[in-house]
Structure 1
Amino acid sequence: MTENTLRSVTVERTATGHFTATNPRGGTISFGTGSADGGDNDFTPVELLLAALGGCTAVDVDVATARHSEPTEFTVTVTGNKVGDESGNRLTDLAVTFSVAFPDDEAGARARSILPRAVKVSHDKLCTVSRTVETGTPVTVTVEDA
Structure 2
Amino acid sequence: MSEDSKRSVVVERTATGHFLATNARGGTLHFGTASDEGPTTEFTPVELLLAAIGGCTAVDVDVATARHAEPAAFSVSVTGDKISDELGNRMTNLVVTFDVAFPDGEGADRARAILPRAVKASHDRLCTVSRTVETGTPVTVTIKGA
Name the TM-score class by shorter chain.
Answer: over 0.9
Which residue in the other structure is 1:136 paired with?
136
Structure 1 residue matching 2:38: 3-state secondary structure: coil
Which residue in the other structure is 1:77 paired with?
77
Q: Identity over the aligned pairs, expressed in percent?
A: 72
Contact map agreement 1:34 1:41 (CA 8 A) in 2: no
**Matched ranges for 1:104-123 at <5 A:** 104-123=104-123
Which residue in the other structure is 1:36 paired with?
36
The runs of at least 4 consecutive aligned structure 1 residues that moved more than 3 Å come to none
Q: Which consecutive unaligned segments of at least 5 residues does structure 2 have? A: none
What's the TM-score once normalised by structure 1's chain length?
A: 0.96
After TM superposition, give the deviation of residue 38 of structure 1 in Å: 2.9
The CA distance in 2 between the partners of 1:134 and 1:27, in whole Å, is: 27
Which residue in the other structure is 1:15 paired with?
15
Equivalent pairs counted in the alignment come to 145
Q: Which consecutive unaligned segments of at least 5 residues does structure 1 have? A: none
After TM superposition, give the deviation of residue 105 of structure 1 in Å: 1.1
After TM superposition, give the deviation of residue 41 of structure 1 in Å: 2.1
The CA distance in 2 between the partners of 1:3 and 1:105, in whole Å, is: 44
Structure 2 residue matching 1:4: 3-state secondary structure: helix
1:4 aligns with 2:4: yes
Which residue in the other structure is 2:59 paired with?
59
What's the TM-score once normalised by structure 2's chain length?
A: 0.96
